[in-house]
Amino acid sequence: MYLTIDFGNTASKYALFTEEGILHSHGLYEDLSAFKAWDLKGCIFSTVRKEIPWLTGLDCPVHLFSSSMNLPINMGYNTPETLGTDRLAGVLGAKFLLTQWNSEIASLVIDAGTCITYDWLTDLGEYLGGSISPGLHMRYLALHQQTGRLPLVSHEVFENNVGKSTNESILCGVQQGVWGESHRQIAHFLEKYPNGAVFLTGGDALFLAEQQKTRIFVEPLLIHYGLLHALRYHETH
């Protein structure tokens, strides 16, 4: 079995894989005692935090995922040393799933979490880069913190085009901004790669998916599939 761990900005999660596929996934707390009962062949973890997370006591090789590993993609990013490992794992996850489906096509990976990232992988397996923008809750917080009187609103889906109160106006502006941004990113990608696949992951993935008119694959464990792909490739190359 393989253990993958993703230490995100606001939450951490692990996934346990067998040779047949994913066995279990859950939120992670800094108590690895339960993992010792499993017959682990290897562990790989990704982190976007400055501090390397506490990971000791596992009876298997433990790998820190990074762009310096031997990976099954070509790097077209100018500064791979600054590339967020969650972004890189996401495109690897898309490549892994497309390979399982016997499909070698380009992919756009949208990770809607603390930030919203858009990352491109060509049909030839070249990672081109992408873009980073504030996530939903970061936008709400910025409006509150960077102004004198705007309130901090709680997220709820607002489907009207006009807000009739300050709270509704904030919900309207933030959500239409995110929807418009994602629509433009997807349209630009599909213009370049008409047969390409669009993947959505992250805590706000379903919110974005409900507003899209194109076919989208929503995969909450996309980063973990990417980490698994990286670990298996590392073991054999």
Which are the catalytic amino acids? 86
Please say whether the beta carbons of 208 and 182 come within 8 A: yes
In terms of Cα–Cα distance, which of 135, 171, 133 is closest to 152?
A: 171
Query: Across the chain, where does the E strand assignment appear?
Result: 2-7, 12-17, 22-27, 42-47, 62-64, 74-75, 107-112, 115-121, 126-134, 197-201, 217-218
Give the contacts of 21 (CB within 8 A, at least 6 positions apart).
none
90 vs 185: CA distance, rounded Å: 17
Other C-beta atoms within 10 Å of 66: how many? 15
Select from 195, 228, 236 the least CA-distant residue to 96. Answer: 228
DSSP code at position 106: -
For the record, the structure tokens of 118 come out as 């858009």
Q: Which of 14, 77, 86 lies closest to 48 in space, CA to CA?
A: 86
Q: Rounded to the nearest 10 degrees, how much is the dihedral formed by the CA atoms of 65, 54, 224, 64?
A: 10
